[in-house]
Structure 1
Amino acid sequence: MRKIKIMIATGCLAIAGLVSAGFIRSNKPVVNHGAEKGFAVVELFTSEGCSSCPPADELLARVQKENAGKPVYILAYHVDYWNRLGWKDSFSQADFSKRQSSYAHWLHLSGVYTPQAVINGQTEFVGSAQGTLRNAIRTNLEKAPKAQVNLTGLAVNNYKATLKYTTEGSGDNTALVLALVQKNATSVVKSGENGGRTLSHIQIVNKLQSIPLGNNKTGAATIVLPDNFFAQGYEVIGFVQNTQTGQIMAAARSAFPQVVIAGN
């Protein structure tokens, strides 16, 4: 575990995605889990510049396979504060470091570190701790969620995606957080603590977007897609989060549909 102290800041959230010709429409049902089943949102704060992080990334991949088909939502945030120490992580963003600092505030921590895992916004521990991670997932799958969220109508037109959302039971001081997730990638690290290694990643958060819910429990969101977007390589994960405590109350995912050429 590698610790780097940074100033605690409030979280910044934003999101994105693409398609060059024609449009995409989603006819697939969105995976959503209501009050009859629990869920686990697993957020990992990691970096290619940290020698302690590859074991956590590898553990995430194993956990994803073990929980295939279950309401387990994995999100890997590459923080940027390691970039000055020998290797710039191409997946890193300052917004993800700020989100980690928000968890330090919500969970009353003195600082941040990598690799750090947070489950449903309420429990944190070293991201490579296998037993702790699996137990936390199992415990949260047994808890009835406090809210519900549905994502529908995911469609892509040119360089933007749109979707509709509906939430129930979210209460006050909540936001719908939408994460555009790249399912996997491989990097050849040429310097820094992992210099000479080829690292594999899963569920890489590309961008985040936070939509305050307030009295508006339904609505639509627009996602600007990255230049390297392709439908099979990305998905959208959405979750309802209390903006004062960090607790995640519900989650759902939506797959991008196949391309439909305009006019067909």
Structure 2
Amino acid sequence: MKNALLIVAVIALSVLFFLNCFMFPDSHEELIGEPKSEKTNLEILNNNNNNNNNNSFAVVELFTSEGCSSCPPADELMAKLQQQTGDKNIYFMAYHVDYWDRLGWKDQFSSNEFTNRQQKYQDWLHLFVMYTPQFIINGSTEFAGYNESALKQKVSDALKAKTIADLTLSSKSDKDSLEVDFKTNLLEKNTSLFVATIQKQATSNVIRGENKGNILHHVQIVRQLNSFSLTEKQGKVKILKPGNYNLKDFELIGFIQNTVTGKILITTKADLL
């Protein structure tokens, strides 16, 4: 009997360890040393990127959903960091996945395309599970969306890494589409140019599901993500406009990503003409 209880206890502890390490893979970071203060983290971010001409950057991708009760704080955290860092070379994108839609509330911004992108990151980063909210920085590091200290530290780390790669984008509006001109000094094997059409902000009144009764505020919502194999250093690509597209409420973020490793090599915002 005692042996049976011991076996059950060992199994239970093993399951808890698995969930802690893989469902929330960054949770151990907060247990090591004293957490940095908010002021210290902000000073790090500001000091690292005082010179915006050094081509260092941080691409902050958030996988989120209106159907997930733990996602709104992550959305707010991203909005907070965006406001605090101003004109730094930090590029924010929120992808609303669709696998929460089956639980009573369909996220108006959700897409299976964004779920597929998160699944690609699961492969690229060799993860055991896929979850929300999840932050990914520069396509190479990930952590759970509740960890403000990790977010600021990982962004700070990304801004320390300079690159000689360059990318410029400009976009002209047509009736139903956008023509995007690109130019880069980077042409490598297994790379693609991605162009994200971003709605800067929106509000949703959620009437069902885990966030029932809440009014959710979103920023940097990815409405479309288009990819093009990069075979030339200069060229044009064309993308469709979202139905409510306008120059005031939308922006385009372009980035070059390695399609084998997931690493983002360079990024920029498009000049909208």
1:145 paired to 2:163: yes
* Aligned with residue 169 of structure 1, among 176, 183, 186: 186
Could you tell me which residue of structure 1 aligns to residue 226 of structure 2? 209
2:91 and 2:187 map into 1 onto residues whose CA distance is: 19
Does the residue aligned with 1:51 lie in a helix, a strand or coil? Answer: coil
2:55 and 2:165 in contact (8 A); partners too: no
* Aligned counterpart in structure 1 of residue 109 of structure 2, from 83, 91, 94: 91
Query: How many residue pairs were aligned?
Result: 225
Structure with more strand by fraction:
1
User: Which residue in 2 is equivalent to 1:12?
Assistant: none
Confirm whether residue 199 of structure 1 aligns to residue 240 of structure 2: no
- Residue equivalent to 2:263: 247
Does structure 1 residue 233 correspond to structure 2 residue 249?
A: yes
- 2:172 alignment partner AA: A
* Selected match of 2:82 from 64, 69, 72: 64
2:66 is paired with a residue whose SS is: coil
Contact 1:234 1:256 (8 Å CA) reproduced: no
| Amino acid in structure 2 at the alignment position of 1:210 | S
User: 1:15-164 maps to which residues of 2 (within 5 A)?
Assistant: 36-145=54-163, 147-152=165-170, 154-164=171-181
C-alpha distance in 2, partners of 1:83/1:217? 40
Question: Unmatched 5+ residue regions in structure 1?
Answer: 5-32, 258-264
Structural RMSD (CA) = 1.6
Higher relative CO (CA 8 A, sep ≥ 6), structure 1 or 2? 1
Letter matched to residue 97 of structure 1: T
| Larger helix percent | 2
CA contact (8 A) 1:232 1:256 kept: no
Farther off after superposition, 225-234 or 236-245: 225-234
Structure-1 residue corresponding to 2:200? 183
Deviation at 1:170, TM superposition (A): 3.9
**1:130 and 1:170, CA in 2 relative to 1: closer, same or farther beyond 3 A?**
farther
- TM-score (structure 2 length as normaliser): 0.79
Q: What letter corresponds to residue 246 of structure 2 in structure 1? A: F
Distance 2:145 2:164 in 1: 25
The structure number with the bigger radius of gyration is 2
TM-score when scaled to structure 1? 0.82
Query: For residues 57 and 138 of structure 1, do their structure 2 counterparts lie closer, same or farther at Cα, with a shift above 3 Å needed?
Result: same
Say which SS state the counterpart of residue 83 (structure 2) adopts.
Answer: helix
Letter in structure 2 aligned against 1:225: K
Q: Per the alignment, in what secondary structure is the counterpart of residue 173 of structure 2?
A: strand
- How far apart are 1:255 and its partner, in Å? 4.7
